[in-house]
Amino acid sequence: MINLVLFGPPGSGKGTQAAFLIEKYRLIHISTGDLFRYEMSHHTKLGQEARAYMAKGELVPDSVTIGMLRNKVEKHPETQGFIFDGFPRTIPQAEALDALLISKGTEVAGLISLDVGEEEIVQRILLRGQTSGRADDNDEATVRKRIAVYQSETAPVFDYYAEKGKSHIINGLGTIDDIAERLSDVVESFGKD
């Protein structure tokens, strides 16, 4: 199995690149943000729980998020691997992911971070907000809050996997194809060192 963590601030292109990676490597894509939006649109209890946090640009509590992620992983015992997009976002989430994968006899192969500067991502998200229908993409204060939360709570996850020799950074600027090629180069280096 090959399990990838696609990492980077909101608006860095994780969703776009995940679409390319699932096609190329036949992996299951798990975006916790997409899962929460699905739950909200179906008015489930989980969706209700997540709504207020998402609207404010804050993280949904780990207890809720980890349980949801675990359920999703359990649904795909036959897969060749997963792409985790927007998860893990905290150290406890990373520890829970590692424990879950170890219990299945596998592990995170690597984390790949898309490097994009703050002003670029603010502009990208506000532009996306014109068509995404996402309330959290439309308000600049909420967008900046999400970036601040990324810096304080999520960026340490990069160091967590770096200590295990698993973190990689690629330039997140350029065309979709350029970035996809950089990503493939990293994915193909896994298992060779």
Residues near ligand AMP (CB under 6 A) are: 10, 32-33, 36, 53-54, 57-60, 65, 86-87, 89, 93, 136, 146
Strand order in the sheet with 108-115: 28-31, 82-85, 3-7, 108-115, 167-171
Rounded Cα–Cα distance for residues 56 and 4 (Å): 28
Taking the complex as a whole, the smallest distance from the CB of residue 52 to ligand AMP amounts, in Å, to 9
Structure tokens at 143: 């967008």
Taking the complex as a whole, the smallest distance from the CB of residue 176 to ligand AMP amounts, in Å, to 18
70 catalytic? Reply is no
Question: Could you say which of 124, 128, 144, 145 is catalytic?
Answer: 128
Taking the complex as a whole, the smallest distance from the CB of residue 24 to ligand AMP amounts, in Å, to 22
DSSP-based three-state secondary structure for 42:
coil
| Contact criterion met (CB below 8 Å) for 102 and 111 | no
CA distances from 151 to 35, 147, 162 (A): 23, 6, 16
89 catalytic? Reply is yes
Rounded Cα–Cα distance for residues 58 and 52 (Å): 8
Question: Could you say which of 72, 134, 144, 145 is catalytic?
Answer: 134
146 catalytic? Reply is yes
Is the CB of 125 or the CB of 179 nearer to ligand AMP? 125
Phi, psi of 170, rounded to the nearest 5 degrees: -125, 155
Is the CB of 36 or the CB of 110 nearer to ligand AMP? 36
Is the CB of 33 or the CB of 78 nearer to ligand AMP? 33
182 catalytic? Reply is no
Tell me which residue has tokens 């970036």: 147
Structure tokens at 171: 């330039």
Say what the alpha-carbon torsion angle 151, 28, 35, 124 is, to the nearest 10 degrees: 50
Taking the complex as a whole, the smallest distance from the CB of residue 59 to ligand AMP amounts, in Å, to 4
Is the CB of 32 or the CB of 167 nearer to ligand AMP? 32
14 catalytic? Reply is yes
Taking the complex as a whole, the smallest distance from the CB of residue 46 to ligand AMP amounts, in Å, to 12
- The residue nearest ligand AMP at its CB is 33
Is the CB of 54 or the CB of 116 nearer to ligand AMP? 54
**Catalytic sites, residue numbers:** 14, 89, 128, 134, 146
